[in-house]
Structure 1
Amino acid sequence: MSQMVDTSADTDGAATIRNALTDKLLSAGVITSSVVERAFRVVPRHLFVPEGTPLEVAYNAHDSVATKRDRDGVIVSSISAPFIQARMIEQAGLGPGMSVLEIGSGGYNAALLAEVVGPHGRVVSVDIDPEVTDRARGLLDATGYSGRVTVIQVDAEDGVPGLDAPVDAIVVTVGAWDIAPAWLAQLSLDGTLVVPLRMNGITRSIGFRREGSHLVSTSAEVCGFVPMQGSGAHDERVFLLPDRRGSHVKLRFDGDVPQDMSLLDGVLATARTEVWSGVTIRHGVSFADLHLWFACFLPGFCKLAVDEGTDLAAEGEGWFPFGVVRGDSFAYLTVRPTREGVEFGARAYGTHGEAAATAMVEQIQAWDRRVRGGPAPTFAYWPTGTDRPETNEGTAVLEKTHGLLTISWPAAP
């Protein structure tokens, strides 16, 4: 059943906080065009979130809002944080009169897109989940956008029926492991694809345009999204390492899994070792590119999740969920305080823990020496059937189902 909302709930208070959010996104350089600014001032985000969500949460620049969970409580659908919605619409380069396909529905982002392309533009929003599309239709109808957005329940991996012409942009609002050939078939030759692409567990929202037979990036933003469902899904492989209390450290692999993970049995009962890099960073400075560097150049890279009560969890904020497996040992990223910030290092468990920690530290040092502070990496996608690209030591190549992804790191000056 479609969910209806009371549009009279768009009170002066909501308008005030919505304008404050828009002002913040403008001043931070997240919104850069007048059409996106207007959309964020006009569309009532609080009418698309679940009933009872406080306005301060609905309009927090960095808060996503869950709209559906599975039986285990895992979020399977959400309204993304305003900052990444604004950036992705800007990445798409949309304007009045253009056409856009949104993959991953919810209602609010489609309403923003409708405002950006205007009454002469076209917005098609699709989702694999009928509950999500029913909810989106109801909310778009209640807020006056049903005539400006077409909502379709379909698995977009195989293409969207009813598109009578290629669209000017495709905006994917779920985490994708690969780029479906059907998307490229339904994108105009000079169109833009914006997709939160998973690269060995690390996600970036990448704006792609065609260059000859392949795609090249025009922009990239740090982000996180719920994973895609359906035939385009790509599940991580998770390995549980029990500690002496029965709690677990979970190692999550998005790409290749090291051989014979059984070598890690009992690893948390071994003595912990640590290795420090000498590489420091000031408080408040992002080091998200280091995570992507690991994903590119650290064999055995994985992400970590820990149960409460493990020794690792007891370290508090001194560790980060990025690790590496080497045979019977594993290491994870950690920091220790310095006078003006922190120093990067690695802590490890296992008979050869020092070697695992050293492998991670060597990549921290390589990142610092070769690319830190330099130009951002660029991305290219080479569909199956196109010529394999020439690469150098600063380029990582990730094999995907439907093609190859290259990540090229320009040297720091």
Structure 2
Amino acid sequence: MIQVADTHDGADRAADLRAVLVDELRGRGKIATAAVEAAFRRVPRERFMPDGTDLTVAYGVDNSVVTKRDEHGVAISSVSAAYIQARMLEQAEVRSGMTVLEVGSGGLNAAYLAEIVGPQGRVVSVDIDPEVTARATTLLEQNGYGDRVRVLVADAEHGVPGEGPFDAVIVTVGAWDIPPALLDQLRNPGVLVLPLIMNGVTRTIGFRRASEHLSSTSAEVAGFVPMQGDGRHPDRVFLLPDGNGRNVRLSFDSGAPREISRLDGVLATERVERWSGVTIDNGVSFADLHLWFAWFLPGFCRIAPDEGTDLAAERRWFPFGVVSGAGFAYLAVRPAAEGEGAEFGARAYGPDGQRAAASMVEQIQAWDRDGRHTEPTFHYWPVGSDPSLISADAPVMDKTHGVVTISWP
């Protein structure tokens, strides 16, 4: 049985925290329009949280709250953080009277959408998991939105039969590709907002339909639980043993090395370092460096060391790496030689460790020179698009149903 989260201090405290949250989201630029602001002020966010969720968690700007885990303890459904919910609603350009599809049900986001589109609009929310849709349906009914949102069990990879066309589609799970069936149900012009996984790095991108392709209008840094069903795209994972029964996991979205066996025993070799001369001030985000790696660093991977490995105990490193031949390198920082902040570099293992470190440092320097102070734009070209429309020098990332291109700068 679903129960409303215990608010402890009652509705007055929830209302106060709601007002504070909205003010902060406006101050950060995540809420920009009166319609989204009104929705956030009206919907009782705490009532869509798991039972017992503290109000300060429910109304935290950056707090996502897991609502379901699989048998291995991996999160497969959650309530997204307030900042990204607000931002995605703005990215989708949702207005009164629109018909909107939400992929990935939870109840809360659908309630926001219902408030924005109003009685003349229509909201459809789908999820592949019947437990998730049942929870969303119950919460929407309990909070007065049962007749304003239609919740369905469906695999969005195949569209939503009997529904659409939609003025906007908001996908709230990590998507490796864009299903043709969803594009078939998106009006032209229409807006698609989704967390697109590009070589293991995600950006929540607002795409506007433009003739044969989609062009980005905005992008936001965020993480989401991955899509399930036929649209799921599992990484290829390789284990580097450390000689003590523990491993460092290397996850490749695409482009995994053909001869990964060349890395056998690399963690037993002497570690080497290479530094870039590129620095960053303390407290400044460098999330775009990760995106740059995903697009321009051959052999890019993500890293997860077991507890007890030397890497897990090491400080001042980040879980982004590269494999080059018989070498493995990962992103690291050290105190800047002058002033405050840190310098980017690479630490590496293996006979080709220096080569791997050099390839990473080369891209750190390229990002600093060509990408650091500019915003990338993205285009999605479905299968069947006219290839002559794609710029000859555009970097291209292959997907199952099309290709993504990036302009940066």
Q: Cα distance, 1:371 vs. partner?
A: 2.1
Match of 2:232 in 1: 233
Q: Cα distance, 1:380 vs. partner?
A: 0.3
Describe the SS at the equivalent of 2:307.
coil
Q: 2: distance between equivalents of 1:292 and 1:120? A: 40
Match of 1:42 in 2: 42
Q: Cα distance, 1:245 vs. partner?
A: 2.2
CA pair 6-369 structure 1, distance change in 2 beyond 3 A: closer
Q: Cα distance, 1:18 vs. partner?
A: 1.2
1:6-405 → structure 2 map (5 Å cutoff):
11-163=11-163, 165-316=164-315, 318-338=316-336, 339-374=339-374, 376-388=375-387, 389-391=389-391, 393=393, 395-405=394-404
- Contact 2:7-2:14 at 8 Å conserved across structures: no
Describe the SS at the equivalent of 1:207.
strand
- Contact 1:196-1:203 at 8 Å conserved across structures: yes
Describe the SS at the equivalent of 2:395.
strand
Q: Cα distance, 1:6 vs. partner?
A: 7.6
Q: Cα distance, 1:143 vs. partner?
A: 0.8
Q: Cα distance, 1:3 vs. partner?
A: 2.4
Describe the SS at the equivalent of 2:310.
coil
Describe the SS at the equivalent of 2:405.
strand
Q: Cα distance, 1:5 vs. partner?
A: 3.1
Q: 2: distance between equivalents of 1:51 and 1:45? A: 13
Residue 286 of structure 2 aligns to which amino acid in structure 1?
F
Q: 2: distance between equivalents of 1:203 and 1:235? A: 14
CA pair 357-8 structure 1, distance change in 2 beyond 3 A: closer
Residue 323 of structure 1 aligns to which amino acid in structure 2?
G
Q: 2: distance between equivalents of 1:377 and 1:303? A: 21
Q: 2: distance between equivalents of 1:256 and 1:315? A: 27
Cα deviations by residue, 1:305-363 (Å, 9 ceiling, x for unpaired): 111111111113x0011100011111000000123100000000101101100000000
CA pair 146-7 structure 1, distance change in 2 beyond 3 A: farther
- Contact 1:4-1:142 at 8 Å conserved across structures: no
Residue 239 of structure 1 aligns to which amino acid in structure 2?
F
Identical-residue share of aligned pairs (%): 63
Q: 2: distance between equivalents of 1:8 and 1:69? A: 24
- Contact 2:275-2:361 at 8 Å conserved across structures: yes
- Contact 2:5-2:46 at 8 Å conserved across structures: no
Residue 403 of structure 1 aligns to which amino acid in structure 2?
G
**How many residues matched?**
405
CA pair 7-322 structure 1, distance change in 2 beyond 3 A: closer
Q: Cα distance, 1:392 vs. partner?
A: 5.3
- Contact 2:191-2:208 at 8 Å conserved across structures: yes
Q: 2: distance between equivalents of 1:391 and 1:8? A: 55
Q: 1: distance between equivalents of 2:46 and 2:349? A: 47
Q: 1: distance between equivalents of 2:378 and 2:23? A: 31
Q: Cα distance, 1:4 vs. partner?
A: 4.5
Q: Cα distance, 1:7 vs. partner?
A: 10
Residue 67 of structure 2 aligns to which amino acid in structure 1?
T
Describe the SS at the equivalent of 1:11.
helix
Residue 276 of structure 1 aligns to which amino acid in structure 2?
W
Q: Give the unaligned 5+ runs of structure 2.
A: none
- TM-score of the two chains, using structure 1 as the length reference: 0.96
Q: Give the unaligned 5+ runs of structure 1.
A: none
- Contact 2:5-2:51 at 8 Å conserved across structures: no
Q: 2: distance between equivalents of 1:28 and 1:363? A: 30
Describe the SS at the equivalent of 1:119.
coil
Describe the SS at the equivalent of 1:262.
helix
Q: Cα distance, 1:34 vs. partner?
A: 0.6
Please, which moves more after superposition, 6-15 or 343-352?
6-15
Q: Cα distance, 1:244 vs. partner?
A: 2.6
Match of 1:5 in 2: 4
- Contact 1:206-1:220 at 8 Å conserved across structures: yes
Q: 2: distance between equivalents of 1:294 and 1:397? A: 14
Cα deviations by residue, 1:182-204 (Å, 9 ceiling, x for unpaired): 11111111110001000000100
Q: 2: distance between equivalents of 1:371 and 1:7? A: 47
Describe the SS at the equivalent of 2:115.
helix
Task: Provide the aligned C-alpha RMSD in A.
Answer: 1.4
Residue 293 of structure 2 aligns to which amino acid in structure 1?
F
Describe the SS at the equivalent of 1:303.
strand
Q: 2: distance between equivalents of 1:178 and 1:62? A: 26
- Contact 1:290-1:364 at 8 Å conserved across structures: yes
Residue 171 of structure 2 aligns to which amino acid in structure 1?
V
Cα deviations by residue, 1:204-250 (Å, 9 ceiling, x for unpaired): 01111122211111111111110000001000111111113222111
